[in-house]
Structure 1
Amino acid sequence: MKLVTYRLANQEFVGALSADETAIHTLPFPDMNALIQGTTIATLPALLADAPTVSMADVEILSPIPCPLADAICLGMNYLDHAKEAAAFNHQSFDRDAMIPVYFSKRATRTVDPTGIIPRHAGLVQQLDYEAELAVILGKDAFNVAEEDVADYIFGYSVANDVSARVLQTKHKQFYFGKSLDGYFPMGPCILTADSVPYPPELAISSKVNGELRQNSNTNQLMTTISQLVANLSRGMTLKAGTIFLTGTPAGVGMGFHPPKFLEVGDVVECAIESIGTICNTVK
């Protein structure tokens, strides 16, 4: 099942796409956070039986979680090929011990819609970069969860672009500021519920800039798996339902090219993941 947030007549609603993806079954929740916290994947089908429908042609698809309840939890350099290209770009800032996950948070007052704008932030940002990533959304509170039980806690998956200001990221010796500027968290076009694909998901992931293929990999290449991520972090802190995890990006980001291929005004960035969909954002 694909869940979406959409705008109709200046109001925001949540719903589930029809099988042919031409209509949306509107669900009785004020937003996606309330849906995740107020239902389960198993109970969703019963809500669709009497749900009113609207045509996809009449609505604007928004980010599935426009206003996250908390900062996203991110994994840095979680594909081996990207870890190598990052270390080659700036060894001091991006060197990683393969046995120790790199965690950081990404702030988003409001995530960017699937066809929304990535602001250039001229005068503040140099070396603007893109990172196609699998977003994982937690379906229930998790504390001290064993790796073998993590699948039961996953609500679904989405596509994200972990937009990064590389100079800010490296200059501050941590990733938070350079990853968290307004407009640096495009997400969508939907949440694919976890029961839609086998666990762990093995999905093709890619990005294009102005039609040029830049990243091309598969989520089965994660160095730290989704199960390891949730089990590790839940050992010492409660992870709330609705938490968004960004699981890392494969090789092919702008800083990995020689010379680098950073984003400029007018560039169009597409991030796609098999079975979920594509987000397409323009730098302005």
Structure 2
Amino acid sequence: MRIAAVHSADGKIFGTVAHDEFRPLLIDGAPVRDLRDVIALLDAGPDALRHGPATALASLTLAAPVGPLTKNVICVGKNYHDHALEFARSGVDQSGDRQERPEFPVVFTKATSSLADPLQPVPASADPTGTTDYEGELGVVIGKRCSKVGPEEALDYVFGYTVVNDVTARAVQTRHRQWFLGKSLDGFCPVGPWLVTADEMGPLDGQMLVTTVNGERRQAAPLRDMIFDTPTIIATVSSYVTLEPGDLIATGTPAGVGIGFAPQCFLVPGDIVTVSIEGIGDLVNPIS
């Protein structure tokens, strides 16, 4: 099942997507406004679902299909082999760990205020260093309260998957010797175009993640190329932080980011970035 959020006259609402139509989900006749309520409805079974009238998806404005988030977006860095090498050689990594293959998952967060919608302009002009970069990633949405789970059971706690662009101000990331500020500018975390539930997505393996800038392919890798797979990430994070329904994890980016080019290729106003994952869809954002 595909779960989308759209902007309505009364604010952001959630619903299902099928055959290029959006059908709002209802509770007691009112639109659903919280992804956690969507998760609870689907957990109760198909008989619990109530829909409003269908509307052509093309006539609506998509919103980020998550939220309201109760904690920061949890992110994993240096999680594809080629990108870990690219990042180690870029001179950007000031985390104190410049290994080409991390021994343990590298975990950081992005502020909830960085969340952005599909097609929402990403404000590179707000980055005073002019070093805004893209990072196409698989997003994982938690479906059940999750604490100290093992990798073998971790996928049982996944509600669905989406696409994330972990936009980063590289010079800020370097200057402050940590990643939070450079990752958390307003609008620097586009998510979408929708969620695909775990049962529909199936096993994560050869699905391709591809990022293009103005139609030029920059990143391309199968999801199986992650150093730490999704079960390992969930097990690692939940060992220390209790995960709750609706929490969003961005699982890392493959090689091909702007800092890996010579000369480096940063985003500028007028660019169009598209992050695509097979089985989910295309997350498109202009740069402003």
Tell me the residue number matched to 1:118. Answer: 122
TM-score, normalised via structure 2 length: 0.91
Tell me the residue number matched to 1:225. Answer: 229
Tell me the residue number matched to 1:178. Answer: 182
Letter in 2 for 1:24: F
Aligned counterpart in structure 1 of residue 266 of structure 2, from 259, 262, 266: 262
* Residue aligned with 1:46, SS: helix
Letter in 1 for 2:108: F
> Deviations 1:113-136 (Å, cap 9, x if unpaired)?
111110024462331100000000
Distance 1:57 1:173 in 2: 43
Distance 2:282 2:64 in 1: 12
Evaluate the alpha carbon distance shift between residue 91 and residue 174 of structure 1 in structure 2; reply closer, same or farther with a 3 A threshold.
closer
* Residue aligned with 1:151, SS: helix
Tell me the residue number matched to 2:277. Answer: 273
* Residue aligned with 1:118, SS: coil
Is 2:42 the partner of 1:35? Answer: no
Tell me the residue number matched to 1:70. Answer: 71
Distance 1:11 1:230 in 2: 32
Query: Comparing 226-235 with 61-70, which one deviates more in the overlay?
Result: 61-70
Letter in 1 for 2:25: L
Q: Unaligned 5+ residue runs, structure 2?
A: none
User: Displacement of 1:54 after TM fit?
Assistant: 2.1
Evaluate the alpha carbon distance shift between residue 32 and residue 221 of structure 1 in structure 2; reply closer, same or farther with a 3 A threshold.
farther
Distance 1:92 1:190 in 2: 32
Q: Unaligned 5+ residue runs, structure 1?
A: none
Tell me the residue number matched to 1:26. Answer: 24
CA contact (8 A) 2:41 2:48 kept: no
Distance 2:65 2:40 in 1: 16
> Deviations 1:143-176 (Å, cap 9, x if unpaired)?
1112111111000000010000000001111100
Tell me the residue number matched to 1:206. Answer: 210
CA contact (8 A) 2:34 2:68 kept: no
Note the aligned Cα RMSD (angstroms).
Answer: 1.9
Identity among equivalent positions (%) equals 35
TM-score, normalised via structure 1 length: 0.92
Tell me the residue number matched to 2:247. Answer: 243
* Residue aligned with 1:143, SS: coil
User: Displacement of 1:258 after TM fit?
Assistant: 1.0
* Residue aligned with 1:109, SS: helix
Distance 1:278 1:91 in 2: 28
Distance 2:55 2:47 in 1: 18
Letter in 1 for 2:36: A
* Residue aligned with 2:35, SS: helix
Distance 1:242 1:49 in 2: 20
Letter in 1 for 2:63: L
CA contact (8 A) 2:92 2:170 kept: no
Query: Comparing 1-10 with 50-59, which one deviates more in the overlay?
Result: 50-59
CA contact (8 A) 1:5 1:32 kept: no
Letter in 2 for 1:267: D
Distance 1:102 1:252 in 2: 19
Tell me the residue number matched to 1:253. Answer: 257
Tell me the residue number matched to 1:132. Answer: 136
Distance 1:98 1:202 in 2: 22
What pairs with 1:126-205 in structure 2 (closer than 5 Å)? 126-205=130-209
CA contact (8 A) 1:67 1:111 kept: no
Evaluate the alpha carbon distance shift between residue 26 and residue 110 of structure 1 in structure 2; reply closer, same or farther with a 3 A threshold.
farther
Query: Comparing 99-108 with 234-243, which one deviates more in the overlay?
Result: 234-243
* Residue aligned with 2:94, SS: helix
